């Protein structure tokens, strides 16, 4: 998985907060300091091992000097006797991290249950807070007569106990982004994040402590500029939490975001980050796409639905993980870059068509040893690079070529064939085809076995 990470991940350091050591990282060199206040499911080094999450934090660091940390009791920070720290202790930790990072004043960006502590910090330390940004934050987590949309305590405790039975399989994190659960690699990353963040006992203590938190009384005392964000279609966290924040923090601005997944880096991250950047810097980004020549490869497992039904969910997931490991290994060997996975398929790019073809055949041959057939389609053309994603006509052509490939076949456009002359790669002609949604006719070729 190292090929998917930045060439140099941020260095993890430790700040001393009383007798406790708090793990933190500093990323970027922007003119404004930004403290990312994490949820309790956090581990700063593990963030960088998942491309979409790494992209999320790099984007934050593109317009700020981003300061990230693990809260005490979680991730790489020191454990806490009893499993949970008070809000006062957590605020002390933020001060310690800021001092260690040489930050006099910073914006605070927090989400979910972390928003309560961030709001209290902004009210207590306005001299060190330039702005407060709260995403689906909960000033109170438990039901009250005047806060009747939150969970009743007994229901909340039952949900906590239920969640601990599956702790470490990723379901807690993916519960906030169910549509992303089909991505095998992302599911494995989420499962490992849970295990690295906290033990089941610590998780229970943290959740129960949060159920007792109520910072509503301090909201009217917050003096710093405040942005409150919420996904308009999110079924998991009641929008009335955010409405309460806006109604009670003087001058707070509310932004309703499109989408229905609560996890910030799962879906719709760009819209969220645009709002954060504009609020913090006063300017909304207008990125120009980078256009480069690349070879695009689409690959997928043939007959995956039938095979999954034959094997059952658990064995099928295990087989998919083996395929994924093979794909990542071969991509690394042939200098490919995975752009994204799509259930039982993936999109990759290469800086040379011959390497792309050889990678596709290596993946196909390795998959056959697992009893699977993989088909691939390749095209070379100009693509648009936006962060970790790609677009443009060449990508659409690659997808259409792949859709026409037979089981176990590596199918390429005539452009690819012409560019690998002299490579020793042999082809069999597959005729002239029309590609749906792509103008003109295209001559296709299959790589000879």
Q: What is the pLDDT of residue 1?
A: 33
Long-range (24+ apart) CB contacts under 8 A made by 412-415 are 412/353, 412/357, 412/377, 412/378, 412/379, 412/444, 412/445, 412/446, 412/447, 413/378, 413/379, 413/380, 413/442, 413/443, 413/444, 413/445, 414/442, 414/443, 414/444, 414/445, 415/379, 415/380, 415/381
How wide is the angle at C-alpha 164 spanned by C-alphas 162 and 165, nearest 5°? 70
Provide the CA 66 distance to its chain's centre, in angstroms: 17
Rounded Cα distance between 43 and 391, Å, is 32
Res. 287: pLDDT tops 90: no
Asked whether 289 and 351 are in contact (CB, 8 A), the reply is no
Question: Predicted confidence band at 5 (pLDDT cuts at 50, 70, 90)?
Answer: very low
Question: Predicted confidence band at 310 (pLDDT cuts at 50, 70, 90)?
Answer: confident
Q: At the top level of CATH, which class does the domain 290-447 belong to?
A: alpha beta
Question: Predicted confidence band at 230 (pLDDT cuts at 50, 70, 90)?
Answer: very high
At which residue do the structure tokens 């494995």 appear?
188
- For the four alpha carbons of 315, 317, 323 and 328, in that order, the dihedral sign comes to negative
Cross-strand bridge partners of residue 383: 292
211's torsion region: left (phi>0), alpha (psi -120 to 50) or beta? alpha
- Per DSSP, 79 falls in state P
Strand bridging mode 374-386 / 389-391: antiparallel
Q: Report, as an integer, the average pLDDT of 233-244.
A: 91
What are the structural domain ranges in the chain? 2-281, 290-447
The two domains 2-281 and 290-447 share their CATH topology (first three levels equal): no
For the record, the structure tokens of 155 come out as: 């229901």
For the record, the structure tokens of 397 come out as: 């052509």
Q: Report, as an integer, the average pLDDT of 169-189.
A: 77
Q: Report, as an integer, the average pLDDT of 326-346.
A: 86
pLDDT tens digit sequence for 76-89: 999 887 667 888 99
Res. 200: pLDDT tops 90: no
- Per DSSP, 374 falls in state E
Strand bridging mode 106-111 / 129-135: parallel
Average pLDDT for the chain: 88
Q: Report, as an integer, the average pLDDT of 383-397.
A: 86
- For the four alpha carbons of 89, 95, 97 and 100, in that order, the dihedral sign comes to negative
Q: What is the pLDDT of residue 260?
A: 83
Q: What is the pLDDT of residue 134?
A: 98
- Per DSSP, 354 falls in state H
Minimum mean pLDDT range among 217-221, 233-237, 394-398: 233-237
Rounded Cα distance between 65 and 29, Å, is 5
Q: What percent of the chain has pLDDT over 70?
A: 96
Asked if the 2-281 domain carries CATH number 1.10.1200.120, the reply is no
Rounded Cα distance between 132 and 137, Å, is 11
Rounded Cα distance between 412 and 415, Å, is 8
Q: Report, as an integer, the average pLDDT of 317-336.
A: 87
DSSP string, 267-306: S-HHHHHHHHHHHHHS----PPPEEEEEEEEEEEETTHHH
Question: Predicted confidence band at 170 (pLDDT cuts at 50, 70, 90)?
Answer: confident
Question: Predicted confidence band at 252 (pLDDT cuts at 50, 70, 90)?
Answer: very high
Q: What is the pLDDT of residue 7?
A: 35
pLDDT tens digit sequence for 15-57: 999 999 999 999 998 899 999 999 888 999 999 988 788 889 9
DSSP string, 166-224: TTTSSHHHHTT-GGGGG-HHHHHHHHHHHHHH--HHHHHHHHHHHTT-B-GGGGGG--S
Neighbours of 174 (CB within 10 A): 22
pLDDT tens digit sequence for 108-166: 999 999 999 999 999 999 999 999 999 999 999 899 999 998 888 888 888 777 777 77
Q: Where are the beta strands (DSSP E) in 54-187?
A: 65-69, 106-111, 129-135
Asked whether 284 and 274 are in contact (CB, 8 A), the reply is yes
């Amino acid at each position: 998985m190292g090929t998917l990470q930045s060439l140099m991940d941020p260095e993890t350091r430790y700040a001393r907060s009383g007798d406790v050591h708090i793990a933190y990282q500093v990323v970027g060199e922007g003119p404004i300091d930004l403290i990312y206040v994490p949820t309790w499911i956090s581990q700063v080094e593990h963030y960088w091992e998942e491309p979409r999450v790494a992209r999320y934090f790099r984007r934050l660091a593109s317009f700020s000097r981003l300061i990230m940390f693990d809260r005490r009791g979680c991730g790489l920070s020191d454990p806490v006797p009893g499993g949970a720290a008070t809000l006062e202790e957590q605020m002390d930790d933020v001060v310690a991290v800021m001092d260690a990072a040489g930050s006099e004043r910073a914006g605070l960006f927090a989400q979910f249950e972390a928003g309560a502590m961030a709001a209290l910090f902004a009210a207590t330390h306005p001299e060190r807070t330039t702005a407060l940004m709260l995403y689906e934050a909960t000033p109170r987590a438990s039901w009250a007569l005047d806060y009747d949309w939150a969970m009743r305590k007994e229901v909340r405790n039952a949900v906590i106990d239920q969640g601990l039975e599956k702790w470490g399989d990723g379901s807690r994190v993916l519960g906030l982004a169910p549509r992303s659960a089909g991505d095998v690699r992302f599911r494995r990353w989420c499962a490992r994040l849970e295990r690295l963040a906290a033990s089941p006992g610590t998780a229970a203590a943290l959740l129960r402590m949060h159920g007792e938190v109520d910072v509503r009384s301090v909201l009217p005392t917050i003096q710093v500029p405040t942005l409150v964000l919420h996904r308009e279609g999110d079924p998991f966290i009641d929008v009335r939490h955010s409405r309460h924040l806006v109604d009670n923090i003087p001058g707070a601005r509310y932004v309703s975001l499109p989408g229905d997944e609560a996890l910030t880096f799962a879906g719709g991250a760009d819209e969220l980050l645009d709002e954060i950047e504009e609020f913090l810097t006063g300017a909304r980004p207008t990125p120009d796409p980078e256009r480069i020549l690349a070879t695009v490869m689409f690959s997928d497992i043939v007959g995956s639905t039938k095979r999954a039904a034959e094997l059952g969910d658990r064995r099928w997931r295990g087989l998919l993980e083996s395929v994924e490991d093979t794909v990542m290994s071969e991509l690394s060997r042939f200098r490919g870059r995975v752009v994204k996975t799509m259930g039982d398929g993936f999109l990759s790019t290469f800086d040379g068509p011959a390497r792309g073809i050889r990678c596709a055949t290596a993946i196909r041959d390795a998959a056959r040893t697992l009893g699977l057939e993989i088909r691939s389609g390749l095209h070379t053309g100009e693509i648009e690079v936006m962060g970790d994603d790609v677009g443009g006509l060449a990508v659409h052509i690659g997808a259409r070529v792949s859709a026409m490939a037979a089981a176990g076949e590596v199918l390429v456009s005539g452009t690819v064939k012409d560019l690998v002359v002299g490579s020793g790669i042999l082809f069999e002609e597959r005729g002239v085809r029309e590609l749906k949604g792509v103008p003109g006719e295209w001559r296709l070729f299959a790589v000879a076995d």
